[in-house]
Structure 1
Amino acid sequence: MRITILGSGDAFGSGGRYSTCLHLVRDDGTTLLVDCGATSLLALNRAGIDRNAISAILFTHFHGDHFGGLPFFLLDALFVSRRQAPLVIAGPRGIEERARTVTEAAFPGFSTNRWPFEITWQEIMPDAPGTVAGAAITAFAMVHDERAGPCLGYRIAADGKVFAFSGDTSWTESLVPLADGADLLLCECYTYDMPLKNHLDWQSLSARLPDLRAGRIVLTHMGPQMLERRAETGATCAEDGMVLTL
């Protein structure tokens, strides 16, 4: 499994980073996006990624910096990429309704277009794991903002490897089983020492790192304070365009 971090930024584009978007390619070439934030089409184009090769998009929650790129992805699929292949759009409970709402808000009347490709809507929840683009997906409840949720973290298992992604969250004990035995945990860390109710800070996270038994841990979704002090952590921090191979 190869993971390209197309976007590692926060909602404000701190440090000039793109919104959250992860590009996963399985050993057989099957491709999955995890989150598709507002700037993701820019990131996909800059990286030269064929959007028609993407089999599915899996969303962690419904904030714009994770979900807001979907209308642009679908607009591109219809008018630029001329997509013909089926597309799976997966995520928390309510994914279809949320997707239709955000797409119609971005481009009024867009829902009346005739789609030349099939869209399958798939809900993934802690009590309802599933398979997306050939990968086994297990969801864990995160603590972020239920107005944009349910907010989930995922274990994505494929090719004998496990990739874990926290999505957005403050500290929750659910991070422990999310990380347990994963080959890689990509974990948000928004601030260095400023506790927030909806995000992780480095001081809180570092105190619990021994409990996160993943082979590797990479930090992402860093705000200005964390970006300024990330060298002090000694941790591996995500960058736009970083490639991680499992």
Structure 2
Amino acid sequence: MNITILGSGDAFGSGGRFSTCLHLAASDGTTMLVDCAATSMPALNRAGIDRNAISAILFTHFHGDHFGGLPFFVLDAQFVTRRRTPLVVAGPPGVAQRAHAALEAAFPGSATARRAFEIDYVEIAPDGPAEVAGADIEAFAMVHDDRAGPCLGYRIARDGKVFAYSGDTAWTDTLVPLARDADALLIECYTVDRKLPNHLDYETLEQHLRELTARRIILTHMSSAMLDHAGALACERAYDGMAIAL
């Protein structure tokens, strides 16, 4: 499984980064996105990615810097790439209703427009396993914003490897099983030491690092303060275009 971080930024474009969008490619050529932010179409185009080859989009929650690119992806598929194959849109319970609202808000009439491809909605919840684009998905409840959720982190298993992703969250003990023995953990780290009720700071994360047993830990969704932090860090920092080969 190969992961490309197309967008590693926060909601505000700090550091000139695109907002969250991850491209996952399996050994059999199957590809999917995890999150598709409002900035993701430029990121996909810049990377030269074949959008019609993407079989699914898996969302962690419904904030615009993770979910806002869906209407643009759907219209691109309809009018630019002329997609013919079904698209799976997966995410927390209510994903179909959220998608309908987002499409209507961005492009009125687009939610019910006739298209040459179907959109198949799949709800993911922490109470059971799921499969998306051939990958086994295990969901974990995160602590972020219930108005934009439920907010979930995922363990994604494919090709004998496990990629874990927190989505947006404050510290929660469910990060421990999320990260357990994963080949890589991508975890949000918004601030250096400023405590927020819905985001993780590096000072808190550092206190819990021994509990996170992923083989590789990479920080993402960083604010300007975190990007500008010159001190040594115990973890890697993500960047737009970063490739992770598992």
Please classify the TM superposition score into its range, dividing by the shorter chain length: over 0.9
Matched, 1:169 2:169: yes
Give the CA deviation at 1:119.
Answer: 1.2
Q: Give the Cα–Cα distance (whole angstroms) in 2 for the partners of residues 146 and 106 of structure 1.
A: 22
Encode CA deviations 1:31-65: one digit per residue, 9 max, x unaligned: 01000001000100000000000000000000000
Matched, 1:243 2:243: yes
Q: Which amino acid aligns with 2:22?
A: L
1:151 aligned residue = 151
Give the CA deviation at 1:109.
Answer: 1.4
Q: Give the Cα–Cα distance (whole angstroms) in 2 for the partners of residues 230 and 22 of structure 1.
A: 26
Give the CA deviation at 1:181.
Answer: 1.0
Q: Give the Cα–Cα distance (whole angstroms) in 1 for the partners of residues 231 and 215 of structure 2.
A: 21
2:3 aligned residue = 3
Q: TM-score, normalised by structure 1?
A: 0.99
Encode CA deviations 1:187-226: one digit per residue, 9 max, x unaligned: 0000001011000000000010000000100000000110
Q: Which amino acid aligns with 1:174?
A: T
Three-state SS of the structure 2 residue aligned to 1:206 is: helix
Q: TM-score, normalised by structure 2?
A: 0.99
- The number of aligned residues is 246
Say if 1:71 and 1:106, in contact at 8 Å, map to a contact too.
yes
Three-state SS of the structure 2 residue aligned to 1:22 is: strand
2:187 aligned residue = 187
Q: Give the Cα–Cα distance (whole angstroms) in 1 for the partners of residues 112 and 140 of structure 2.
A: 35
> Which contiguous aligned blocks of 4+ residues in structure 1 show a shift greater than 4 angstroms?
none
Encode CA deviations 1:1-36: one digit per residue, 9 max, x unaligned: 000000000000000000100000001110010000
State how 1:1-246 maps to structure 2 within 5 Å. Answer: 1-229=1-229, 231-246=231-246
Say if 1:41 and 1:69, in contact at 8 Å, map to a contact too.
yes
Encode CA deviations 1:158-210: one digit per residue, 9 max, x unaligned: 00000000000000000000000100000000000101100000000001000
Could you tell me which runs of 5 or more consecutive residues in structure 2 were left unpaired when the two chains were aligned: none
Give the CA deviation at 1:235.
Answer: 2.0
Q: Give the Cα–Cα distance (whole angstroms) in 2 for the partners of residues 16 and 191 of structure 1.
A: 17
Could you tell me which runs of 5 or more consecutive residues in structure 1 were left unpaired when the two chains were aligned: none
